[in-house]
Every structure is written in C-alpha cells, then in structure tokens.
Chains A and B, each alone.
Chain A
Amino acid sequence: MSGISKIVGRGVYVPGNDIDTDRIIPARYLKCVTFDELGPALFYDVRFNEDGTSKNHPLDAPEHQGAEILISDNNFGCGSSREHAPQAIQKFGLQAVIAGSFAEIFHGNCTTLGIPCIVMDKDNREKLVAAVQDSPDAEIIIDLEALQVICSNSIYPMTMKESAREAFLAATFDPLDNLLSATSEIRQIAEKLGYA
C-alpha cells in the first residue's frame, strides 16, 4: 500500500444536505457477494427514472464525465453503515469527497478504502463549486500535506480528521496489517476479560 498525499482531478457537485447512503446506493443494489459491480448503481434513483431514462443528474452531465472529486454539502453519507456506498463511489471512479461535514460510519468506511473525506466550509465550498461550474475541465488539487485545495489559481482551506490524514500520508489507512501485528496483546485482553 502506498500513501496518499495528493488527489488530482476534475470536480462534480452533487448538491444537498443529509444525503444518506440509501440515496447513494439504493438497497436493491446491496444484493451482491462482492463489491465489483457497484459503480453504475451510484445514486441510481436520483440519476434515472423508473423507465431508465436520465434525470440529467450532474454525474451524467457530459462536461462532468470522468470527474474524480465529488463535492456535496452537510452530513454527507448519513444513515446506513453499508460500505456499498463508498465502494460505489470508488468503483464509479471518484477518488475523494469534499463536503461540509460527514456522517461518521461513512467517513470511517471511506478512509479504510482510501477515499479522503475533505471538510470545507460553506463559503469556500460555494466558491469552489462556482469555479467547477464555470470551467468543468479545471483541475482540482487536494493537498493533504498542506491542507489546501487548489483550483484555477485559487487556494481553498480545508480540514480533515487528523487520524485519517496521518493514515493516508503513512499509507496505513487500511488498518488491518497494523491490527494484526498485536496478536499477543489481543490475546492478553481477551483472556483478562474472560473472552478466550
């Protein structure tokens, strides 16, 4: 695993507060035993009518095809703990999410998968969104080291959970190897608490 210090790509804005994981990936797409096929189902019911015709969602706008950075509003990813939501985001080709705030379980799931969740205040987000709408081709650089987002020669301050930032930079965002390196300490706790 290598570290993540920068994400570079084009942006797409999906407006709304409290966008829940049922909306990010409707429950019927949870019928799967691997996550591989989830990309096309991202935001399905907000992107398509029941007859399959497009609702002209930003993700389907020609100018945003191939965008790598999702921008949204407050409390993004609330609701169900389904990892299918960040999996669908990643399989769709998105590499980072910028929002006003995130729901916790969603944030944790994203971090483990290597999707940085970037927090940006409303003023800066509005300016960034305006920049993306004006020139959808503009490159956005998310710099985790400098805690800056750069787009069209403007710099937007960002924050993120410090433990997640550390983990991205140190390439330990998938914690499993780290967790497994403490087998004897784990055993001790299990025995002490009568769990083993």
Chain B
Amino acid sequence: MGRNLFQKVWDDHVVRQLDSGQYQVFVALHMIHEVTSPQAFGMLKDKGLKVAYPERTCATVDHIIPTDDQSRPLSDEMAEKMIQVLSDATEESGIEYFAPQSGSQGIVHVVGPELGLTQPGMTICCGDSHTATHGAFGCIALGIGTSQVRDVLASQTLAMDPLKVRRIDVEGELPPGVTAKDVILHIIRLLGVNGGVGYAYEYAGSAIDNMSMEERMTVCNMSIEGGARCGYINPDETTFEYLKGKEKVPAGSDFDEAVERWKSYASDADADYDDIVTIQAADLRPTVTWGVTPAQAITIEERVPSPDEVDGLEKNLITDALDYMQLEADAPIKGTRIDVAFIGSCTNGRLSDFEAVAEVIAGKKVADNVRAIAVPGSEKVDKAARAAGLDKVFAEAGFEWRLPGCSMCLAMNPDKLVGSEICASSSNRNFIGRQGSPTGRTILMSPVMVAAAAIEGRVADAREVFELTGAAS
C-alpha cells in the first residue's frame, strides 16, 4: 500500500513521539504577523528563551494595517504598537520581516507563495487559521495559537496528533461562471462546518488538476471553514511552473533537483485514505452564503431555507441565522439588496481575482447604493495590477482601489461595516460581527459574483449580469 502526501510529509518531519501520545513535528516554514505573534515573543522572554531557527521564520504585517493611509506612526496607537513590537522582535531575533513599502508586504498567505517561500513537502505553521492556503503547493500547512507560535519560535517544532485524510475528488469541467470559490463553498455546504474535524482534506480530481495555483489556493484556504485542520493538493507541473523563478526558490540545476524531490511527495496512486468523497463539477453553480456560517450556503438559483423544513436544533440554527441576516425564509437569495461590496482577502485577493473581475466590469458602474472596495492581497499583487491598469478599471467602475492588507475580512483596521450593513464579500467568514460591526451582515461569494452584486446593487447571478457563457474563469 502506498502513502498519501500527508503521510509522507508527516513521516519526514516527525522528530519523535511524546509521552502524551502526541508527536513532535518539525516545522519547515513558520510565518508570523502582528496580531497573534507579538505576544509569543513576550512569552519567550519570560522563559529566557531565544528563537532557535530564525532563518525558518518570516514576518509580515497584514491584519491591522490600514489600507488607505499607511504613513507612520499609524493614527491607531495600538495598531502602531503591535507593528512596532513585531518589527523590533524580528530585528532582535534575526527574522526576515517584509515591512510595508518593502515591496513584499501583504497578507501572510499571499506573501508566502508569491515569494516562493512555500514549497511542496513542507510543514508550514502560522498563527492564523487560513494557513491551509499553502496546502495548494502540497504542504501540510496548519493554523496555530500563540502558545504554539512560542513553541515553534523556541524549538522549531510543534506537538500534534496525526490526522486522518479525506480525499475529495472534483471531477469534470466547471460550468461557465463557476469558480474555485464556488467549489469550496459547495464542499463546505456538503460536508458541514465540522465535517472535517480530525481530517486533512486532499483535493483531487480533474477539476482541481485543471486549476491554476491561485485557484487552488482559494480552495485550500477555506479548509478550516469545513473544520479540517488543513487541506492540500498534490504538487504537479502547474505547481512547479508557478514556483520557477520565484525569489526564494532555487534556480538552475538546483531547481531541477528540487522538482524531483517535490514530485516524490505527491500521493501514491495506491495510497490509502480514511474517506473519499466524489463531486461532479457539472453539478456546481455560483454559490453564496445566506446565514452566519460558511456551510449555510445555497446556489444563486435556490431559495433561502425555511425552519419549517427541519426539526430540532437545526430549526433553531436556521431561525437564528435568518433573524440575524434579516432574510425571509423560503425567499430567493437573488435580489437581496446589498450596501457594501468587498473584493480582497487571502481567499480571493490575488492578481487573477482582480483580472477576472476587471474583465467583466470594464465599462460598467457600481450601483449608487453600494460602497465598493478592492483590496489587493499584497504589494506585489498591487504592483502587478497597477502595471496592467486594473486599478483604473476598478476605479472607473466605482470601486475604491486600496493598499494591501486583510481589510474588511476581519475589520481590525478602519475598514468596517456600519450598523447592520450587508456586504457581498469575497472573503471567507460570514460569522456574526465578523466585518467589524456587531450587527453587520456578510454574504460570501466569488469575486465575479461580488462584482455582479456591486453593479446590480443586489445579490445577482454573474452569469446573467456579465453574460458568462464561455469557459470558467
């Protein structure tokens, strides 16, 4: 019996079994940011410890950084302090820091891949649950808490239990207007928000094979929203092609050698899985959330569920979610009026996301009732988008083009919903209060669907608004 990628990477990186039964696992790449990591340096100091492998940790700032004016000191004193504590700590410990205006700053899960720090076969950790994004390259990429950030800084290792592996095959061709975001929203809807507990998700099948690296990152990014500890895709030619020439990737004959090693991590054809789920790509439609968890999702053609359809606890969940979202049971989701449109985040804030939207919004206008913002995921994305004139296309359509950061994905900076505003968002969480207002509402969808909603002023079907009949973008 062969091994799957998870088992191979695990076997390579396990240091030993601990007395508790957990395993000590070596971390190949550790990424840190200003919100969950500064505290860990304090913990190290308290214990009189130093960073063990500073060359295996990289830092950036993303969560709290403003996207309109980044001049220092920041007007938010606490934000300024957090960034300062992080940059001081990295300097003191010899950790590479991608500061604002360095050309490499951005959302941690956008930065790792675009610099080529993320490479197949690695174990990757970051104090952020969307670390699973890096799994797109065939990595075991785990979100961790601050005490674990401390553990990794001090020892470059982590105590953890092994995971089961569920392979999710998405077979066939995606219909026009159906994107990677729709694929992952569908998977979470199907398997539930805690369906993945105890699992790593391996995404496979021809629809996944045909995806670009950026699309694969969108899929892996939301693994945690399905409860899975991580998600990954086996490395292939698309992966190697993407990595070739990236700043932190070996060049020349070293690259060829690296490719051979990377290939060896891919799951064997006869690998064993704890579970296999198959999805037909042809069945997928543009998908949006209607409730307060990412699993509360329906296709744009469907109606919002009614509590009358179910019993028990499920009934309360639906009633509460509809109440909060101020949606009517059994009404179509299409046509729901929106106030804000947000395109960005580590799920959908990469160059291809803005390219796909620019292609369809050129010559169109955002509805008067909508405040629309586009936030590139990194300085590199911003630069490439500007070079291609995308910022102008967005601006002409009525989007505000911002500086890189997490922005309205979690609204720790000034980008927030106000009151009970409702936002069509390309981010990954529609939790109560997620976008900065305790009563704010979020509808998750793909970037082109956000664009369609922005233009119509209502939740709309991008396939109709933009007459999408060709190949999926």
Contact = CB atoms under 8 A, between A and B. Distances in A.
A32 interface: yes
Contact of B36 (A17, A82, A166): A82
A78 B227 contact: yes
A122 B28 CA distance: 41
Interface stretch (B141-149, B202-210, B278-286, B450-458): B141-149
B194 A103 contact: yes
A56 B116 CA distance: 51
A80 B431 CA distance: 10
A83 to B, nearest CB: 4
A172 B154 CA distance: 17
A180 B411 contact: no
Interface residues of A, number: 59
A186 B20 contact: no
A50 B215 CA distance: 39
Main secondary structure of the interface of B (DSSP, over half): loop
Given A75-B193, A78-B193, A83-B146, A176 B26 contact: no
Nearest to B439: A50
A105 to B, nearest CB: 6
A163 B47 contact: no
Nearest to B160: A108
Interface stretch (A4-12, A21-29, A59-67, A149-157): A21-29
A81 B76 CA distance: 24
A175 B432 contact: no
A41 B429 CA distance: 21
Interface of B: 12-13, 15-16, 18-22, 24, 26, 28, 35-36, 38-39, 42, 47, 49, 52-53, 56, 63-64, 76, 78-79, 81-82, 85, 127-129, 143-148, 150-151, 154-161, 193-194, 197-198, 224, 227, 229, 293, 313, 317, 410-412, 429, 431-434, 436, 438-439
Interface of A: 17-18, 20, 22-23, 26-28, 30-35, 45, 50, 73-75, 78-84, 86-87, 101, 103-105, 108-109, 112-113, 161-164, 166-167, 170, 172, 174-176, 178-180, 182-183, 185-186, 189-190, 193, 195-196
Q: Which 6 A-B pairs have the closest CB atoms?
A: A83-B145, A109-B145, A45-B438, A81-B143, A175-B159, A83-B146
22 contacts: A22-B433, A27-B412, A31-B82, A33-B38, A34-B39, A50-B439, A73-B313, A74-B194, A79-B129, A82-B145, A101-B194, A104-B198, A112-B148, A113-B147, A162-B21, A163-B22, A176-B47, A178-B19, A182-B24, A189-B15, A195-B28, A196-B53
